[in-house]
Amino acid sequence: MFFLPMPVSTEALKQDLDRLTHNQLQQVADFIAFLKFRNQRRHRAVLDPVQLADLFAEFADEDRAFAEAGMSDYAVMLHQED
């Protein structure tokens, strides 16, 4: 079944809300919260490649040092097992 979109007016929505039961209003509130959450997630997903490259460059040396330290610890543990 296909529904054509109805024109929306704030006043008509307010009138419809006034006729809803408490349970129905709770469902509307839950749906509004979902829409807000979904909208926030969409905006967060946009990443700037230039900013990411800057962050990568800024932390590359530190990351490399942590990786090398971790590998050194791993090599010592392997040697101890032998």
| Residue-wise pLDDT tens digits, 26-40 | 999 999 999 999 988
How many CB atoms lie under 10 A from the CB of residue 82? 4
Residue 45's pLDDT is: 62
Q: How many angstroms separate the CA atoms of 61 and 55, rounded?
A: 11
Residue 37's pLDDT is: 92
pLDDT band at 70 (very low <50, low <70, confident <90, very high): confident
Poorest-confidence range of 18-22, 25-29, 50-54, 71-75?
71-75
Residue 77's pLDDT is: 86
Query: What's the pTM value of the predicted model, to 2 decimals?
Result: 0.45
